[in-house]
Amino acid sequence: MSTTVSRTAEHLALAEAVTAHNYSPLPVVVTAAEGAWVTDVDGRRYLDCLAGYSALNFGHRHPALVAAARDQLDRVTLTSRAFGNDRLGPFARDLAALAGMDLVLPMNTGAEAVETAVKVARRWGYRVKGVPDGRARIVVAAGGFHGRTTTIVGFSTDPVARDGFGPFTPGFDVVPYGDAAALRAALTPETVAVLLEPVQGEAGVVVPPPGYLAAVRAACDEAGALFVADEVQSGLGRTGATFACDLEGVTPDVYVLGKALGGGILPVSAVVARRDVLGVVTPGSHGSTFGGNPLAAAVGHAVVRLLETGEYQARARELGARLSARLSELVGSGVTAVRTRGLWAGVDVDPALMNGAEACRRLAACGVLTKDTHGSTIRLAPPLVVTEEELDWAVDRLAAVVTGQTAGSSPR
Say if 193 falls within a structural domain: yes
| Catalytic member of 259, 290, 371, 372 | 259
Compute the CA torsion angle 96, 97, 100, 104 (nearest 10 deg): 10
The pLDDT of residue 404 is: 86
Residues in contact with 241: Cβ distance below 8 Å, sequence separation at least 6, in sequence order: 247, 313, 317, 342
Domain annotation covers residue 316: no
d(CA 138, CA 126): 13
Q: Is position 149 within any domain? A: yes
- Per the annotation, the verdict on 230 as an active-site residue is yes
DSSP E strands, 2-123:
30-34, 37-40, 45-48, 103-107
Residue 173: how many CA atoms within 13 Å on its side-chain side? 17
Ranges of the chain whose pLDDT falls below 70? 1-5, 406-412
Tell me if 390 is assigned to some domain: no
Q: How far apart are CA 235 and CA 247, in angstroms?
A: 11
Has 350 been annotated as catalytic? no
Give yes or no: 259 in active site: yes
**Residue 268 located in a structural domain:** yes
What local confidence, expressed as pLDDT, does residue 1 receive? 40
Q: Which domain holds residue 134?
A: 63-308
Q: What is the 3-state secondary structure (H, E, C) of 216-267?
A: HHHHHHHHCCEEEEECCCCCCCCCCCCCHHHHHCCCCCEEEECHHHHCCCCC
As for how many domains the chain has, the answer is 1
Catalytic residue among 58, 145, 155, 290, which?
145
* Calpha distance 334→288 (Å, rounded): 47
Structure letter (DSSP) for residue 353:
T
Backbone angles phi, psi at 397, to 5 degrees: -65, -40
Give domain status of residue 358, yes or no: no
Q: Is residue 12 part of a domain?
A: no
- The CATH number linked to 273 is 3.40.640.10
Of residues 48, 94, 230, 372, which has the active-site annotation?
A: 230
Residue 326 covered by a domain: no
pLDDT at 406: 61
